[in-house]
Structure 1
Amino acid sequence: MRVVVLCGGESPEREVSLASGRSVARALLERGHEVVLADPAAEVPVLAGPLQPGDAVDGVAVGKEPPSLADRPALRRRMHAALTGGPVLELLRGAELVFLALHGGWGEDGHVQALLEMAGVPFTGAGSAECAAAWHKGRAQAVLGAARVPVAERVLWRPGEAEVPQDVQRLVAAGPVVAKPVADGSSVSVHRVDSPSQLAQVAAEVSGDAELLVEPFLPGREFTVGVIGDRALPVVEIELTRPVFDYAAKYQSGAVGEVCPARVPDDFASLLQELALRAHRALGFGGDAYSRVDFRCDASGAPMCLEVNALPGLTATSLLPLAATGAAWTYPDLIQRLMDLSPTR
């Protein structure tokens, strides 16, 4: 097939996405596809291609910290222009499939999916409505709770608009809590907060009218379950050496232990897989989509769903590829299966 891999983009996960895109491109070439690698937010959007099987694709390193957002307005302008007209849009229209290796921001909140849907361009992963439903953690958790997927108590707060709400003060007093952006990925700006003074420091970093989600810190084990279509993959356990699974831990090799299949009783693994499938479906994800569902256990060992990731990372150190190895799939197997899910939209 003629496949365009979209990566990069305008979010704090830009570097992760560029690494995912290159990994995906190598797998597609190994499977015999023709590939163009493109970053719609770059000044020169075509990064490589057309590539033929046997061609090499260079890798890219992911830094310990997410990139600065100072260039985000310019990146967004270029990205919008590229996806709504000109040679990039024509390149996408000429592809048999667009493989979305974008993470975060417009790549995962439904913006890019909506533009591709309107242009009649087939792409991998969930559609715009499902991505939007999963992207806002507060609203997604409300839906999950209604679908009998266990979630922790949560409070939403816009630090730029008002004093600390009483419900937030109550959670911090009972502490500790986790404070994180209500709409972001790759655990960017996730903080454990143990006191009102720490909360004030976190709030001071929030720009504009951005919203925080504040929830109790869960002290138990952490797990994630990949869902491919209607199938839950083997459970992955994330063995933490720090309080939260933050950006640096996710993308620096050896920063945490990741075990697949997780060393847990069979009935507990089955419970996590059942909850992951329920969460996937509750947000509208169907048999043509994939996701990664994250859990953390409370003090009693009961799992709580943290979020559903519509476009999880596909780098060499990412969790979904690790889960695929637990199902005896190679990385190219996984990428081909993600392609095979996608109908012609």
Structure 2
Amino acid sequence: MRVVILCGGESSERDVSLASGSSVARALLERGHDVVLVDPAAAVPVLAGPLRPGDVVDRIAVGKEPPSSSGRERLRSRMHAALTGGPVLELLRGAELVFLALHGGWGEDGHVQALLEMAGVRFTGAGSAACAAAWHKGRAQAVLGAAGVPVAERVLWRPAADEVPQGVKRLVAAGPVVAKPVADGSSVSVHRVDSLPQLAQLAAEVRSGEVEMLVEPFLPGREFTVAVIGDEVLPVVEIELTTPVFDYAAKYQPGAVSEVCPARIPAEFAGRMQELARRAHQALGFGSAAYSRTDFRCDPSGEPMCLETNALPGLTAGSLVPRAAAGAGWTYPDLIQRLVDLSTR
């Protein structure tokens, strides 16, 4: 097939996306596809290609910190122009499939999917409506809770406002909390907060922007994630942390955490989380042609609570979905081919 890979983009996960794109390109070439690697937010969008089986694609490493947000508006302007007209759009329309290796921002909140849908372009992953439903953590957790997926109590808070909501103060007084952007990925800007003075410091750091935060109790138990590929639920992955939260640096720096798949847990417990992940996948509108990854952390009694469901989870060689695929006996190229097959059947 002629496949265009979209990666990079304008979000805080830009570096992760570029690394995913290069990994996906190598896998597609190994499976005999022709590939063009495109970053729609770059000044020169075509990063590589046309590539044919046997060609070499350089690996891209992920830095310790997410890229600065200072140039985000410029990246968004380029990205919008590339996806709505000109040679990039023609390249997408000429492909048999667009493989979305974008993470976060417009690549995961439904913007890019909506543009591709309007252009009549076939792409991997969920459609615009499901992506939008999953992207806002507050609204997604409301949907999941209504569907019977256990979620923690949560309060939304915009630090730019003068007053800290009473609900946030109550949660902090009851014990540690986690504060994170209500719409972001790769655990960017995730903070553990132990006191009101620490909360005030966090508010001062983020007050300059219009960031909406989600505040929820810190869950002290074990952390797990479950991927759903079409109609198939993969083995549970346990994330063994050496830090209080699974933040950006822990996710993408080798050796920062241990990821065990299949998780060393009783079969009944694993099956329960797999069923919850399937229920989350379906409740948010992910169909049999889509894939997702649902994250859990256990409360003090050991019960798994759903943190979020990711519409376009990372696809670097060390990401969690490839780790789960390996636990199911799939190679990385097997996984990527299955994602292609979901979109073309």
What's the TM-score bracket when you normalise by the shorter of the two chains?
A: over 0.9
Aligned to 1:270: 271
Note the 1:312-331 alignment, pairs <5 A: 312-331=313-332
Matched, 1:42 2:35: no
**1-structure distance, mates of 2:316, 2:24:** 8
**2-structure distance, mates of 1:286, 1:162:** 42
State the 1:231 CA deviation.
1.0
TM-score by length of 2: 0.99
- Asked if the contact 1:6–1:37 (Cα under 8 Å) also holds between the matched residues in 2, the reply is yes
**2-structure distance, mates of 1:153, 1:313:** 27
Matched, 1:297 2:298: yes
State the 1:343 CA deviation.
4.4
Aligned to 1:237: 238
Aligned to 2:150: 150
Aligned to 2:254: 253
Match of 2:308, SS state, is strand
Aligned to 1:161: 161
Matched, 1:212 2:208: no
Note the 1:127-206 alignment, pairs <5 A: 127-206=127-206
Q: What is the identity percentage for the equivalent residue pairs of Structure 1 and Structure 2?
A: 83
Q: Could you report, residue by residue, the CA deviation over 1:198-252 in whole angstroms, capped at 9, with x for unpaired residues?
A: 1112222224221000000000000000000111100000000000000000000
Find runs of 4+ consecutive structure 1 residues off by over 3 angstroms: none
One-letter amino acid of the counterpart of residue 228, structure 1: I
Aligned to 1:283: 284
Aligned to 1:75: 75
**1-structure distance, mates of 2:201, 2:13:** 23
State the 1:197 CA deviation.
1.2
Give the aligned CA root-mean-square deviation in angstroms: 0.7
- Asked if the contact 1:27–1:332 (Cα under 8 Å) also holds between the matched residues in 2, the reply is yes
Match of 1:171, SS state, is helix
One-letter amino acid of the counterpart of residue 153, structure 1: E
One-letter amino acid of the counterpart of residue 196, structure 2: P
Q: Could you report, residue by residue, the CA deviation over 1:26-83 in whole angstroms, capped at 9, with x for unpaired residues?
A: 0000000000000000000000000000000001111111010111010000000000
One-letter amino acid of the counterpart of residue 210, structure 1: V
Q: Which consecutive residues of structure 2, in runs of 5 or more, have no partner in the other structure?
A: none
One-letter amino acid of the counterpart of residue 76, structure 2: R
Q: Could you report, residue by residue, the CA deviation over 1:226-280 in whole angstroms, capped at 9, with x for unpaired residues?
A: 0001111000000000000000000001100000000000000000000000000
One-letter amino acid of the counterpart of residue 281, structure 1: Q
State the 1:22 CA deviation.
0.1
TM-score by length of 1: 0.99
